[in-house]
Chain A
């Protein structure tokens, strides 16, 4: 069952066409990786899917709800992590997470239990009452991931979730995403880490200058382009595109 359908999506911001005719279909429980250089349009695409931006042209449907008409219904079922996620400086880690969870209407006791469990899963229990200024970038990023899954979303949008994380933390996120996949959660991530994207994702979308230059199953892309890994595919296509 397709949960995300994107047809001929274009986005113009301040007169510049950031996205051009993007087409995309994502199945329920699929992990899709968006790969591309800086300024390719990955974040803009994620922002449109997360209902933060409206499409200039084209049609986007998330779990049967169209953007922007049914944006509020979409926000109820999605989790979103922005690139460079940050916390409210005056609040503790727990208060930050409790604030985000309460905006989804989760009852207090359930909120507390979920936050405590997730902090434990990510080995952050001892930082529960710490202020953000005392945390490392990696810890803040993990808290951002907890924030985006605390309300048990059906669809997850993670913009560069592994940026600034050490390999051990990246591994933890990888395990978490695969666990969510088993529960039927559909995930779209953007990343620069091609090897991770290959291990984690079912399908990839390679994007450059606002256009999709290749998409689909990684093994299918490998055989089509006669390459051994995603990194090779990426470089082959990007070099061809830039030429």
Chain B
């Protein structure tokens, strides 16, 4: 038997994933970051490299946002939410299934970004680079997905769409602001400051998962549908 998370996730990918929604923001951000990274590689400043690598993690996060932002709104718009809620699927399965497409798309973006840095731009690698690319980056994808799911579970209707976007974008900006601030003191110990960022994002991810479950309210979604 296939897992309900996978079933919902695959359906989400078929109904929500469009190439143009992903490609345009990725191209805009990449075109501004890649020349910067090329010049930093030539300059050889490690701290500056970490900083740009960290900022480049915004690309997979934007993919996540583009894919996942309408998770519940679409179900209400398409009048399918009641049918979904009447199936014997747990709240957690619905939430993770809804996030599946965003996480998959975000991690694909992350993988392409890693390949670009490691094999095309050939940046000099060390523990900090690996921590950003393989630790903080993927974790940010999961965190931003759960943040979107939590926000859209709390405010599923189009009238509340502004509130949902503010929560999502605010949560993402908070992490990047925090990361940038911590990198300000990175000259003492770059790895330690990045590790702190990783641990903060990890605990925020866990907190967001708990919030998603708390915000997910079947009755609210049914009443919204009418």
Residue ranges of A at the interface with B (Cβ–Cβ < 8 Å)? 13-14, 47, 50-54, 72-73, 75-76, 78, 80, 82, 84-91, 95, 99-100, 102-105, 107, 147
* Residue of A53, A86, A87, A95 touching B219 (CB-CB under 8 A): A53
B83 within 8 A of A: yes
Residues in B74-90 with C-beta less than 8 Å from chain A: 78-80, 82-90
Q: A47-B222, A102-B2, A103-B4 are in contact. Are A88 and B11 (CB under 8 A)?
A: yes
Please report the C-alpha to C-alpha distance between residue A80 and residue B180 in the assembled complex, in whole angstroms: 51
A51 touches B223 (CB 8 A): no
Q: A54-B219, A86-B78 are in contact. Are A147 and B83 (CB under 8 A)?
A: yes
B218 within 8 A of A: yes
Residue ranges of B at the interface with A (Cβ–Cβ < 8 Å)? 1-2, 4, 7-8, 11, 14-15, 78-80, 82-90, 218-219, 222-223
Q: A86-B79, A88-B11 are in contact. Are A52 and B88 (CB under 8 A)?
A: no
* Residue of A54, A91, A107 touching B15 (CB-CB under 8 A): A91
Please report the C-alpha to C-alpha distance between residue A204 and residue B2 in the assembled complex, in whole angstroms: 40
B14 touches A82 (CB 8 A): no
B7 touches A103 (CB 8 A): yes
Please report the C-alpha to C-alpha distance between residue A16 and residue B79 in the assembled complex, in whole angstroms: 24
A90 touches B222 (CB 8 A): no
A149 CB → nearest B CB, Å: 13
A82 touches B15 (CB 8 A): no
B163 CB → nearest A CB, Å: 19
A76 touches B222 (CB 8 A): no
Please report the C-alpha to C-alpha distance between residue A87 and residue B75 in the assembled complex, in whole angstroms: 10
Q: CB-nearest residue of chain A relative to B4?
A: A103
* Residue of B11, B80, B89, B222 touching A53 (CB-CB under 8 A): B222
- The residue in A52, A84, A91, A104 that gathers the most chain B C-beta atoms within 10 A of its C-beta is A52
A51 surroundings in chain B (CB, below 8 A): 86
Q: A52-B222, A85-B83, A99-B7 are in contact. Are A72 and B90 (CB under 8 A)?
A: yes
Please report the C-alpha to C-alpha distance between residue A99 and residue B2 in the assembled complex, in whole angstroms: 11
Please report the C-alpha to C-alpha distance between residue A95 and residue B12 in the assembled complex, in whole angstroms: 12
